[in-house]
């Protein structure tokens, strides 16, 4: 049970929900850039939420699946076709043995998507995770992005996998519909290093995503953030979403492959929900930060968990109905 990579696309890697509990060893979590889309894709298929999938950036992926399968493309709409026929995102699509999946863009509603297979991708776990950390050649498929000719194993399909064909995540539960939201952000541990004018600039002005952005961090351009203390500090832990402001005064939001420690002052921390939304922005997109408290930031996660529970019940009800093939 496997698929063969005909064309790898711009950047395609195997990801699950990450390699947690290893940061004290200097090993990043390396979770998906948009964990919410990955989790929805797996729930729609009836997989464990942590089942490994392909994280796809933009377009250009072309694979041949060597076994009957069901797949869901969750996240940005990257124009997926199965054997030449348009196949909608967020929907369980059937693939016959030898079927060909082509993802050729142009991207809509974001830049990243997750191709989830019924049962998940079966690469060997490394330190408890199948996620890929490319900088250290760790996990995933041989620790790297996919290349033409790669043969990637699949796990056994989830129970009753055929009965899910046609089931779709409702539009109001799709997080990519929220890509124009502000980034919900809490004050950071070194906010006292910045002037009040600098803090007002950070929360009041618009910034632009630059091309110098990757899975490690999202570099933003915009007005300089004024400070009253030097930018360098004794290195401390880096949380997901931490907003570092180095000497040039422009913010860097730390993403999935962030280093475990860092020595720049951190003006803010972007909420988990908004990190996934930032991951769907492309260079040139504008972003703005909205100050929230911890309780409000958590409320977005709770809302998502309630929606995911409701989605799982909808999937179970759909599968219980008679289906004919």
Give the tens place of pLDDT for each residue, 277-287: 999 999 999 99
Return the closest-CA partner of residue 12 out of 67, 61, 56. Answer: 56
Give the tens place of pLDDT for each residue, 65-114: 999 999 999 999 999 999 999 999 999 999 999 999 999 988 888 999 99
pLDDT attached to residue 54: 98
Give the tens place of pLDDT for each residue, 169-210: 999 999 877 777 899 999 999 999 999 999 999 999 999 999
All structural domains of the chain with their residue ranges: 2-174, 183-292
Return the closest-CA partner of residue 254 out of 238, 274, 265. Answer: 238
Beta strands 85-86 and 53-57: pairing type?
Answer: unpaired
Burial of 100 (0-12, 13-18, 19+ CB in 10 A): middle
Confidence of residue 323 (pLDDT cuts 50, 70, 90): low
pLDDT attached to residue 320: 82
pLDDT attached to residue 14: 98
Class of the CATH domain delimited by 183-292: mainly beta
- ω into 106 cis (within 30 of 0): yes
Give the tens place of pLDDT for each residue, 17-43: 999 998 888 899 999 999 999 999 999
Considering the entire predicted model, what is its pTM? 0.94
């Amino acid at each position: 049970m496997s698929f063969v990579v005909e064309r790898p696309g711009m950047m395609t890697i195997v990801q699950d929900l990450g390699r947690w509990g290893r940061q004290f060893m200097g090993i990043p979590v390396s979770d998906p850039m948009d964990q919410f889309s990955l989790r929805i894709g797996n729930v729609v298929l009836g997989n464990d939420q942590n089942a490994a999938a392909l994280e796809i950036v933009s377009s250009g992926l072309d694979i041949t699946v060597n076994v009957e399968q069901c797949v869901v493309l969750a996240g940005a709409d990257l124009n997926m076709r199965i054997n030449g026929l348009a196949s909608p995102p967020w929907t369980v699509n059937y693939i016959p043995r030898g079927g060909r999946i082509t993802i050729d863009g142009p991207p809509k509603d974001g830049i990243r998507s997750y191709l989830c297979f019924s049962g998940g991708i079966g690469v060997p776990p490394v330190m408890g995770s199948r996620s890929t950390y490319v900088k250290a050649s760790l996990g995933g498929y041989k620790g790297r992005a996919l290349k033409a000719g790669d043969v990637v194993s699949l796990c056994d399909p989830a129970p009753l996998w055929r009965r899910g064909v046609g089931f779709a995540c409702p539009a109001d539960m799709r997080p990519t519909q929220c890509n124009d939201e502000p980034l919900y952000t809490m004050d950071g541990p070194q906010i006292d290093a910045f002037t009040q004018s600098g803090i007002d600039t950070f929360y009041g002005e618009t910034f632009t995503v630059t091309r110098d952005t990757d899975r490690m961090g999202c570099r933003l351009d915009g007005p300089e953030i004024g400070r009253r203390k030097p930018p360098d500090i004794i290195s401390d832990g880096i949380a997901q979403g931490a907003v570092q402001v180095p000497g040039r005064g422009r913010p860097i939001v730390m993403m999935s492959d962030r280093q475990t420690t860092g020595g720049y002052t951190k003006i803010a921390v972007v909420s988990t929900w908004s990190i996934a939304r930032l991951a769907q922005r492309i260079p040139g997109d504008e972003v703005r930060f909205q100050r929230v408290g911890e309780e409000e930031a958590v409320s977005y996660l709770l809302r998502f968990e309630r929606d995911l529970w409701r989605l799982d019940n909808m999937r179970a009800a759909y599968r219980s109905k008679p289906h004919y093939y």
